[in-house]
Amino acid sequence: MIQFNFETQFTLQNSEKINQWISSAIIAENKVEGDISYIFCDDDYLHKINLEFLGHNSLTDIISFDYTVGKIIHGDIYISVERVKENAQIFKNNFDDELCRVIIHGILHYCGYRDKSNRERTEMRAKENAYLKKLKSIM
């Protein structure tokens, strides 16, 4: 079950369709949907998590805690809405597209994709783009 939680003044538009989209991506990756929580927050909230759990004193747009067991996807995905807004401006992207890219990025990590090397980042970006295209077809 996918849940959307809010620790900031933000409302996710089209949450039902986004929920269906995430579920279909999980199935397409030959995984099973378990308990997945998205927590939308601000920079301060995510920065504290970054410091406490990862020891990083930096801002980020997403932190995911993966509790996947076998093929069953479980996890908590924290997204800084502030950081997504800023990244959308930096990358000359609209906010909704950037937000959905981050949303699916967390799921792709749970499906085994990484982004440490150039090759991995290229593969991750291609997957993100493919799933964003599928989302646009149902919106």
* CATH number of the domain residue 75 falls in: 3.40.390.30
pLDDT computed for residue 138 by the predictor: 83
pLDDT surpassing 80 at residue 139: no
Strands 32-41 vs 2-6: parallel, antiparallel or unpaired: parallel
| Prediction pTM value | 0.93
pLDDT surpassing 90 at residue 70: yes
For residues 115 and 126, the answer to whether their CB atoms sit within 8 Å is no
Please provide the size of the chain in residues. 139
109 labeled part of a ligand binding site = yes
Domain total of the chain: 1
Which tokens in the block code for residue 30?
A: 């030959």
74 labeled part of a ligand binding site = no
Q: What is the mean pLDDT of the chain?
A: 95
pLDDT, average across residues 84-102: 95
